[in-house]
Each structure stands twice: as structure tokens, then as C-alpha cells.
Amino acid sequence: MARRETLFSPFFAFIGQLASLLWESLGYIFRGAVSYRHTVAQMSEAGVGSLLVAMITVGFSGAVAGLYLGAQLVKYGQQGYAGGFVGKSLALEIAPVITAIVFSARSGSAMAAELGSMQVTEQVDALRSMGVSPTRYLIVPRLLATVIMLPLITVLANAAGVLGGAIAVAGSGISSSVYWESFKSFTTVDDQVQGLLKTIPFAILIVLISCCQGLNTKGGARGVGRATTSAVVFAIIAVYVADYFLSVVLQDALLWRR
């Protein structure tokens, strides 16, 4: 008897597909079946392409945080917290999440579109017909490149955000030496580590969702468009949901360590 289709069965099928892609990719990575040439190509293609956009968006996010926080803190005479607030929010939340969103929009969409058009023009089948696993050839280099690049982009975007905050708080009359002093004393190494640790699961989610959508593409140019859109939408949702649970777990884990 055929299994009954419910409203949720496509969702669970998709989750299952992501899990098996991850398992398969890890298998290739641990066996060392990795094309370094393709990984480096993806690092420059996906990573460098997203860097500038991430620095601009996170830079201005930091500036806006500085603008509002600065005005409020001056009102209550708590200027000494400005740098710490901006720095902590950037390190823990704004930089990793905004960078992941930018990456998904800029590079995840490109992955879905490229794999999607390869799927509809039978190039994915051509790989399989030659005994080459699409997971090994297409997904593993993208996965490795993103897991390496996303934390690096996040660090630079974070720096741009802190700088943006420094410029913005000056508008509220907080001097830059007060800002940097506050930043140094409140934003800890743990905060930076916690933020960066989140980027690795983000990277895995974005790449797997985008590639999976690409490989599932059906029906020509319109299908490629649909795959690209849903890759970005699903990746952004997944990043935010994962962000909450990762924050809960990481916060406890880092507290417990001390």
C-alpha cells in the first residue's frame, strides 16, 4: 500500500534529504575525497563575493545600534556602556546572523541557481552516468569553502560593525576613547567565540539547503527561479531558528565551562 501523503511529508522528506546529503558529504571529507582546486575556486567565488556586502550591511547595523543606544545611554548618563552594548550585540548576534543572511542571498542563491540549471540540462545526470557522485563533485567543495569562509567574513563584518558603532555614538557626544574602553572591558573573548561557533552550523545549513533545492529542480527556467527563491527563503528561516537554539546551548555551555 502506498504511504499516505500528509501536509508535512514533503517537509520531513526534505529534512531527510538534507541529513543524508550531510552524511554523504562527511563521508567524502573524512575519506579525503576532496577536490582542493574546486574548494579554493568556491572560496573565492562565494566567499570574496559576499565579503563586501556583509561588511557594508553589518557596518551600518553597528552604526544604527550605536545611534539608538548612544542616545538612550546619554539620556540616563550611562555613556560608559555604549561600546560594550554595541560590541556584545554585534559579536553574539548581529554579525553572525546578518552575515549568514547576506551569504545566503548572495552565494546560496547562486549555488541553487547553478545546480538547478545543471539539473534541468541533465548535467547532473551526465556526472552520474560517468560514475561521479554529484555530492562529491558539486556539494563537498561548496560545503568546505563556506565552512571556512563564513567565519572569516563574520570576523571582518563584525569589525566593520564595531567601527560603524564608534562613528555613530560620536553623534551622541560619546568620545571614542570612552567607546573603545567600554568595548574592551565588556566584550569578552567568549562572546566572540560564541558568535563564531554559530557560523559553522549556519554555513552547513545554507549550503545544504541551497544545493538540495538546486538538485531538486524540475521544469526548466521557471523551476530554476523557484528553486533559487525557496533556497534563500528556507535558508533564512533555518538560520534564525537554528540561531535561537544554538544561542541557548552555547550560552549554557560557555557558562558551565567556567
Partner 1 sequence: MIELRGVSYFVADESTPDGRRAILDDISFRVPTGSTTCIMGVSGTGKTTLLRLMAGLLKPNSGEILIDEQDIAPLNENELNEVRAKTGFVFQYGALFDSLSVGENVAFGLHEKRHPKKEVEEIVAARLSEVGLPGITEKLPSEISGGMRKRVAMARALATSPQLIFYDEPTSGLDPVMAGVIDDLIVRLKIQNNTTNVVVSHHLESILRISDRVLMLHAGKLVANGTPDEIKNSTSPVVQQFLQGNPVGPISVT
Q: Is 133 in the site for partner 1 (CB under 8 A)?
A: yes
Contact 170, 176 (CB under 8 A): yes
Task: Output 14 or 186, the one with its CB closest to partner 1.
Answer: 14
**Residue 25 Cβ vs partner 1, minimum distance, rounded to whole Å:** 13
DSSP code for 2: P
Q: Is 131 in the site for partner 1 (CB under 8 A)?
A: yes
**Residue 138 Cβ vs partner 1, minimum distance, rounded to whole Å:** 11
Total chain residues near partner 1 (CB under 8 A): 13
**Residue 88 Cβ vs partner 1, minimum distance, rounded to whole Å:** 43
CA dihedral 211, 215, 221, 227 (to 10 degrees): -50
Q: Is 233 in the site for partner 1 (CB under 8 A)?
A: no
Residues 6 or more apart whose CB falls under 8 angstroms from that of 128 comprise 134
C-alpha distance from residue 74 to each of 37, 68, 69, 171, 186 (Å): 53, 10, 8, 11, 18
Task: Output 125 or 252, the one with its CB closest to partner 1.
Answer: 125
Q: Name the one range near partner 1 by CB under 8 A: 86-94, 98-106, 117-125, 231-239.
A: 117-125
Pinpoint the alpha helices (H) of the chain. 9-30, 36-42, 49-75, 82-89, 95-103, 109-120, 123-129, 134, 140-170, 176-186, 189-215, 220-257
Q: Which of 87, 99, 118, 108 lies closest to 57 in space, CA to CA?
A: 99
**Residue 206 Cβ vs partner 1, minimum distance, rounded to whole Å:** 21
**Residue 64 Cβ vs partner 1, minimum distance, rounded to whole Å:** 40
The burial of 247, by beta-carbon neighbours within 10 Å (0-12 exposed, 13-18 middle, 19 or more buried), is given as middle
CA of residue 137 relative to chain centroid, distance: 22
Q: Name the one range near partner 1 by CB under 8 A: 99-107, 123-131, 162-170, 210-218.
A: 123-131
Q: Is 32 in the site for partner 1 (CB under 8 A)?
A: no
**Residue 147 Cβ vs partner 1, minimum distance, rounded to whole Å:** 22
Q: Is 132 in the site for partner 1 (CB under 8 A)?
A: yes
Q: Is 17 in the site for partner 1 (CB under 8 A)?
A: no
Q: Is 122 in the site for partner 1 (CB under 8 A)?
A: yes
Q: Is 123 in the site for partner 1 (CB under 8 A)?
A: yes
**Residue 131 Cβ vs partner 1, minimum distance, rounded to whole Å:** 4
DSSP code for 94: I
Cβ count near 213 (within 10 Å): 28
Interface residues toward partner 1, by CB under 8 A: 2, 118, 121-123, 125-126, 128-133
